[in-house]
Amino acid sequence: MMMLKMMNPMGSMPSVPGTGGEEKEDSGLTREEQQEQERLRKEAIMQAEKERHKKYRKQDEEREVVRQSIRDKYNLEKPLNDDEDEDEDDEDDSFGAAKKREDEDGDPIAQAQKMAEKQLNDAKMLAQEKCSLQ
pLDDT digits (tens, 9 = 90+) for 50-95: 999 999 999 999 999 999 999 999 999 988 876 655 555 455 555 6
The pLDDT of residue 16: 64
For residue 111, the one-letter residue type is Q
pLDDT of residue 48: 96
Whole-model pTM: value is 0.39
| pLDDT band, very low/low/confident/very high, at 107 (cuts 50, 70, 90) | confident
Q: Is the separation of the CB atoms in 36 and 43 below 8 Å?
A: no
Q: What is the pLDDT of residues 5-39, one digit of tens each?
A: 666 666 666 666 666 555 544 578 899 999 999 99
Q: Where are the domains of the chain?
A: 31-79
How far apart, in whole angstroms, are the C-alpha atoms of residue 5 and residue 7?
5
Q: b vs e for 14-27, b when ≥16 Cβ sit within 10 Å of the residue's Cβ?
A: eeeeeeeeeeeeee
State residue 129's pLDDT score.
83
Q: What is the pLDDT of residue 31?
A: 93
Q: What is the pLDDT of residue 86?
A: 54
Give the list of residues 6+ apart from residue 68 with CB closer than 8 angstroms, or none. Answer: 78
